[in-house]
Amino acid sequence: MLTLTLTASLLSVATGLVAQAPEGLPNPGFEERSEGGPAGWHTRNWQQSGVFTHVQEGRGGGWCVRIESTGGADATWSAVVPVRPFARYRLSGWIRTEDLVPMAGGAGALLNVHEIQTVRTEALTGTQDWTRVEAVFETGRRDSILVNCLYGGWGLATGTAWYDDLELELLGASPLSLSATIHADEVGAPVSELVYGQFIEHLGRCIYGGIWAEMVEDRKFFYPPGEAESPWRVLGGDGALTMATDAPFVGEHDPVLQVSGEPVGLIQEGLGVVEGKRYEGRIVLAASGGVEAVSVTLAWAPGREGRQTVRLTDLSSEMSVYPLRFDATGASREARLEITAQGEGAVRIGALSLMPSDNVRGMRADTLALLKELDSPIYRWPGGNFVSGYDWRDGIGDRDRRPPRKNPAWSGIEHNDFGLDEFMAFCRELGTEPYIVVNSGLGGVEAAVDELLYANAPADTPMGRERAQNGHREPYGVVWWGIGNEMYGNWQLGHMPLSDYVRKHNEFAEAMRAADPSIKLIGVGAVGEWTATMLAECSDHMDAISEHFYRQEGSGLLGHVSQLPESVASIAAAHRQYRAQAEGPDMPVALDEWNYWYGPHVFGELGTRYFLKDGLGVAAALNEFVRQSDIYVMANYAQTVNVIGAIKTTTTDAAMETTGLALQLYRQRMGSLPVAVEVGESPLDVAAAWNADRSALTIAVVNASEEAQVLDLRIEGARVSGRGRAWVIAGDDPMLYNDPGQPPRVAIEERAVERAHRGLTLDPISVSIFELPVR
């Protein structure tokens, strides 16, 4: 047995880390005013709109807060309160109501703790004088909470409520344990490598603008140029452009430039170019009348030196493809693409494409390099909500001829440039396994079977022959298939009652297995009645069941980080109950969407930025997957690029997010044979696993505090060396982030470990994986 001490500067081991936490509600009697309201408190409307006021109508005639609504509201006055982890508190306060009527499932007027939904006081309704209410609760792994003076609550209310004289009383706190015992001889079920999976969806800039290298927006002219939603601007006066709907090259219409001696053309701005880089593409057009030339120009700076032009003179009256090539001698993220015509006549444009010449089969080289570092073993595609309105046939064949569509679930255009064949090229380039979801929303069984056969059937079958005609003779051999996405939700296209959906799922499964018995099917789950019914009615029609969760920004560093592992554990606990009640074999869980989801959209639609604290949360979730290895067969971080993504891009650069660093670190360094770990009530999250050949023990520790920590670590059942290696993600601020085109602020650092029996250092705000070889 080797006893290790993870040394640090923190002296609060004996006294408890929480002794340093500030206590008490801010301005609990609402007497302090700031900017016309109660200092320390803010308002929020969860549903509809309440009216918030800070009034001198309190219990003793002083200040209090009030919420009222005539049409119904779910609203709150809220305050963030630091608390001690693993402590017991009493939240109390006084509430008065007048004609308060709950509606649409609302509770009334009450106090609650936002992060712990079960912590709520009695709810007052009707007309009641000042009444004291209270609730007692445990903080668990939370160092901060959000206290709500709640109006409505999980529904709406009308009438008026006043709140005054709140109090948060500490009833007791456990001293924090900064010790752990690893039982290296108690080995659990192997961790499936598929828990390091990823998910990409046709949403925002995940694929187009992230993975796919196309630079031109709306390259097939879904929107008529010059309209508000089009990225194209028209050069020329009235009549310079018309839209032809007779026999369009692709989609519903083609733009036609009417050339009459004056300059006419189309302009798109905002392209990104890099100095010294070559850009190649094509334009599809037809010219009639006396058109002398069509010029395509890429301009990255003012003046002749800041542009290059390809002049096309040998023009055909039939739609023809003309190559383009530019060599940028400057850099810009506001480059401009111009299409102009000279002479007399008409130029009909079918499509246009431009990519960096270093693209890899149409994909961005910089994004692919980071994806290879991420090294995910499986990718889920194409959705997500998107799949419930997606016709997979739109995405095969000649890319220029594939129809542009309005994205059925999200904003923007679906160009259909990245379809099933491109997804398979993506998977082969990365050496990863494909997981394809079929449309069980608006889609039917026949389309799903055709998609399966297109992917997997031999080339001498009808669907295999179609694949071969598109340049892919050999079957792809896709094993993992999902039937639908989140069909339990009323936001999902094709949503239907559960009783109808179980029959639909089974119809899909029977037909798809009849077409290819080798596949593995994943059904739609959602903990509760939906999952329970799917397991009861569809267990013999699926090989795994999916679950999803997203969490928003939590209060406090520890509380924020702990949300993800708590969700992973909660879903696992529910499935343990399902297994205990089921008669058949255990059903594995595929957690094929999970992540944080909060903050402004910096990188396009749902393109939220992630911080060091989010990386810690992802690492803690990965620790929980290690602990729950008998439950999860797969997990897919959602999503990979830009959209709540592990990688972020601009038009010219790409960078690994802090969440991506955590995924990369665990994929590369964490062992696969989990061992039992005993940890007391601790701010540290600890997991341990042997590597595949049991030559070394890996220990992962997440320190979600802003100070170095001390962990007394006992290893039983194995003799490990005092020398090893460590890989650390750390920083001095939980809000650190990485940005494309800028030096990384957060990175993985490798360190040597010497004389482990004398101590291993855990940095503040850190994720660490230690590798200790067997002696």
**Do 633 and 581 fall within a single domain?**
yes
**Do 273 and 345 fall within a single domain?**
yes
- Residue 165's SS3 state is strand
CATH of the domain at 432: 3.20.20.80
Close Cβ partners of 40 (under 8 Å, ≥ 6 residues apart): 25, 26, 27, 32, 34, 79
Contact 283, 297 (CB under 8 A): no
List the helix and strand counts (H, then E) for the chain.
9, 39
**Do 456 and 598 fall within a single domain?**
yes
pLDDT at 208: 98
Backbone φ and ψ for 5, nearest 5 degrees, come out as -115, 120
- Residue 697's SS3 state is strand
Tens of pLDDT, residue by residue over 538-566, are 999 999 999 999 999 998 999 999 999 99
pLDDT at 712: 83
E strand or H helix at 763: none
List Cα–Cα distances, 501 to 309, 492, 493, 496, 513, in angstroms.
56, 13, 13, 6, 18
Domain limit, last residue, from 356, 385, 402: 356
On whether residue 256 sits in a domain, the answer given is yes
Rounded to the nearest 5 degrees, what angle is found at the Cα of 335, between the Cα atoms of 330 and 339?
A: 120
pLDDT at 25: 93
DSSP 8-state assignment for residue 420: H
CATH of the domain at 690: 2.60.40.1180
On whether residue 735 sits in a domain, the answer given is yes
**Do 506 and 628 fall within a single domain?**
yes
Please give the Cα distance from 524 to 441 (Å, whole number).
11
Backbone φ and ψ for 456, nearest 5 degrees, come out as -115, -15
Rg (CA), the chain: 30
**Do 688 and 664 fall within a single domain?**
no
On whether residue 225 sits in a domain, the answer given is no
Please give the Cα distance from 69 to 62 (Å, whole number).
23
Q: How many CA atoms lie within 13 A of 410 on its CB side?
A: 20
On whether residue 157 sits in a domain, the answer given is yes
pLDDT at 21: 44
**Do 542 and 515 fall within a single domain?**
yes
On whether residue 456 sits in a domain, the answer given is yes
On whether residue 716 sits in a domain, the answer given is yes
Domain limit, last residue, from 624, 641, 669: 669
Is-cis flag, bond preceding 639, omega within 30? yes
pLDDT at 9: 32
Residue 745: is it exposed, middle or buried by C-beta count within 10 angstroms (0-12/13-18/19+)?
A: middle
pLDDT at 758: 60
On whether residue 373 sits in a domain, the answer given is yes
pLDDT at 70: 95
Contact 774, 694 (CB under 8 A): yes
**Do 629 and 750 fall within a single domain?**
no
Contact 250, 402 (CB under 8 A): yes
E strand or H helix at 663: helix 658-669
Nearest partner of 531 among 492, 573, 496, 574, judged by Cα: 574
Domain limit, last residue, from 619, 637, 669: 669
**Do 528 and 627 fall within a single domain?**
yes
Close Cβ partners of 324 (under 8 Å, ≥ 6 residues apart): 279, 280, 281, 282, 283, 296, 310, 354
Question: How many domains, the chain?
Answer: 4
**Do 589 and 703 fall within a single domain?**
no
pLDDT at 175: 84
Helix axes 498-515 and 445-456, enclosed angle (nearest 10):
30
**Do 663 and 708 fall within a single domain?**
no
CATH of the domain at 67: 2.60.120.260
Here the tokens at position 498 are: 């559960």
**Segments of the chain with pLDDT less than 50:** 1-22
E strand or H helix at 427: helix 420-430
**Do 364 and 335 fall within a single domain?**
no
Amino acid at 307: R
**Do 514 and 615 fall within a single domain?**
yes
- Domain hosting 448: range is 193-212+360-669
Tens of pLDDT, residue by residue over 452-478, are 999 999 999 999 999 999 999 999 999
On whether residue 221 sits in a domain, the answer given is no
